[in-house]
Structure formats: structure tokens, C-alpha cells
Structure 1
Amino acid sequence: MTTEGPRSESLLAHLIELRARLLRASIALLLVFLALLPFANELYAWLAKPLLAKLPAGSHLVAIEVASPFFTPIKLAFFAALMLAMPYLLYQAWAFVAPGLYRHEKRLAKPLLVATVLLFYAGCAFAYFLVLPMVFAFLSKVTPEGVTMTTDISRYLDFVLVLFLAFGASFEVPVAVVVLVLLGIVTPAQLREARGYVIVGIFIVAAIITPPDAVSQLMLAIPMMILYEIGLVAARLVAKRSDATAASR
């Protein structure tokens, strides 16, 4: 009976803190979304630039569904709000988990969280500024004669968001490599030996999640291979530091 009381109180305290963290994260996301909502149409116009720049002069996107001119910009505003609020959302998750971590785990987790956010942003920027213009240039060139390329605004948004998520997630390769090494699942030496299989896997993933053209596949596969090598370097450094820390104890 004496142990159940403190345990239940501790569990209740954790649940209360979790609710508070989730509430703060939700409020922050809502505030950013409301701030972006008046600029939803401008955000969509900015997002459509890579496609409109490759279409013939005077071309426009079309709205097939009746309500899509209203809901599509709102959907984009929510996604943009989620992207902008992501650092604060991750901070709330970190503040909830951090008290249960050891000091060396905190030292390793902080840079990994920062790297996760920055690499995801870098992947989205890479997709917008480099991949999308090249993809739409390719698609506009292969459009048959007599066919007008008129894209629905909702389908276009879905296409771009999928590419953003794909490239953002793919740019997390260094973080994934370091985490695998830290968890002891693999060693840096095993990752180097498996480099050939990893390259094949990267090209398979690139072929699945990119449009069906060689340009976009290469533009995803090549950065992923470079990031994998960066992850190997970081994993070796982390492994050496962990070994030195364990030896000093």
C-alpha cells in the first residue's frame, strides 16, 4: 500500500504535465495558423511559382472541385504553420522527456533534435528551389502536342507536400545513422561495409517517392548518398566519444 500511493501520484503528475505540454503545443500551432490564415492565398501563389514559371505564358492552375479554392489555401496555411511551429513543438516534447534522461543522453539528444529540424527544413528548401523547377520543366517538355497542361490546385498542393515530406524525411539520413550507432544496433564499420546495399536501397526509395523521371530520382538519391557519408563521419565521432566516456568511468 505504501508503494502504490507514490507511484499513482507520480503517474498522475506525468499525465498532468503531458496534458499541459500538449495544450501549449496545440495553442502555439493554432496561433501560428491563425496568423498565417489571412495570407493563405499569397502562400499558395508563392507555392505555385515553380509550376507557373514553366507553363506557357497566360497559363493558370484550375479548381476542379467547387470548394477547393477555399479549402486548399487553408490546408497549405496549416502545413506552413506546422512547419514554423515545429521547433516549439519539439521543445515541448523535449521538456517532457528530458527529466528522465541521463546527463550524457541529454548532451547527445539536444544536437540531434536541432539537426533533425534543420535537415528537414533543408530538404524542403532543396525540393522547392531545385527539384520542383526541374521536374516541371521536364513534365512541360514531354507534354504531347495538342495537350494543355492545366493542373488542379488541390492535386498540385498534394503533389508538392508529398515531395516536401519525402525530401525532408530523406535529409534525416545522418540523424538516423547516428541514432542506429548510439542504440548499438550497428557499428560504423558495419555501415561502411553495407555501403553498396545502402546505395541500392537509396535508389529504390528515390524511384518510389519521386515523380517518374530520372532527374528527380537522381536529385534525391545523390544528396541521400552524400548525407549517408556525413552520417558515417558523425557516427564515428559519436562512437569514439562514447567509448572515451565509458573508459573514463
Structure 2
Amino acid sequence: MTIVTEVLPTTEAGPTIPRHVAIIMDGNGRWAAKRSLPRVAGHRAGAEAVRRTMQAAVDAGVEALTLYAFSSENWRRSEDEVSDLKGLMRFYLERELGTLKKEGVRLKLIGEPAAFGNELYERLQRAVEETAHNDRLTLVIALNYGSQAELAGAARELARRAAAGEIDPDSIDIAALEGLLHTRDLPPLDLLIRTSGEVRLSNFLLWQAAYAELHFTDTLWPDFDEAAFAAALGEFARRQRRFGGR
């Protein structure tokens, strides 16, 4: 907590902390290329950055941290790289499960993680079940996730319910659609961070980011650390959020 409160403005209610932070973890490949290392080395270093960032979020009092781990478009990568990523997920899941329990972190999955195969999916589900009662931080891992597919799925379900006479089409509103999103049980997204200097959302939480503050940094994901996270929280606290008002 000390690292964060040193950079955040303080009001009578204390430092301004976003309830829900999401991160597009970008730059693993470039980090490895700069060091003449294979891409998997960048992914390994990126997994260490996940550990640091999760702990920083816990210490700061963030309620939910959503990480874009594998997009629905990442299947276009080579078979070897996808296999390496699945192996890393398996390894770090086993290694970090004890830390999640110790720190009171609840694991949640969004997207379509079943596509990774029964063995890995079952491991993921067991970790979700074993951390279900933790309440200090919800760590959301987006696996095989694409926001456009998420929105299309919600629209299909609303259309099905309307066609079946279960709902009146005129009653469909923002809340009805949000209630069918993968993030429906999470706080509203306050801050979205992207690393590596890219300035786009890449099909990540498009609906949820409607009024989120955006923070882009040139830091490659494996180099992202507690200080970088604190800097993003500090910038968030200095912004004036109007939500469409003047």
C-alpha cells in the first residue's frame, strides 16, 4: 500500500483507487526479440509481471484485476507458440495457486477457456472452485476472449428470449445487455492499461470500457512492475471523471 499512496492524491476519504483495473499485456515478443531470446522467454518474463501486478493490486485495495491473457485472435499464432503459452498457463497455475489462496484472491475466467482442451480447462476450473470464497481481490483471466463475440452472444440471447416471448423487445435496455456479459458480477471498469506503446483496445472489453480511463505506456509487459502500476493509478486519481457530464 505504501508504494501507491505515495503517488496518489488524497482526499478526506483517502486516496482515489479504481475498483476495477484491466490490462492489455502487450510486448512479450518484442521484449524477447530485443534480447535475442525465443518468444517463449518473453512469455515467461510476462508471467512474472502478472505476479508482481497482482500483488500490487492486492496491496492497493483494487477489487478486480482483469488481464487479457489470450484473445480469440491469438489462435492465429504458430502452433509452437500456442503450445508454449498453454504450458506456461499450466505451470504458473500450479505454482501460484497457493499464493492466490494466501492473498485472498478469487480467480475468475472470462471468454471460452474450454477451447484449451479438457486437461487444462479442468485445472483452471479447479483453481476457480478452490478460490471461490476469497474476497480480497478478484483476478479475472480473459482466455480465448473477444469482446465482439461476447456482445454478439449477449444479443443472440436477448433475441432468443424475445422470440420465445420471455421478454418484451421494448424492455431491452443497457442493464439487460450488461446482465449477459461475462463481467456482469464485477464492478464497472474504471481503468484500462495497455503496455508496449500500442494505442488500441484490440477487441478487449469494448462495452465495459465506455467510460473507463485509458492509460497507455511504452513499457513492455515483462518490464511492468509495482512502480509502473502505481504510476497508472496515480494518473487515474488525477483525472476528472465526468461520465458524459460537463
Coarse TM-score class (shorter-chain normalised): under 0.3
Larger radius of gyration: 1
TM-score, reference length from structure 2? 0.24
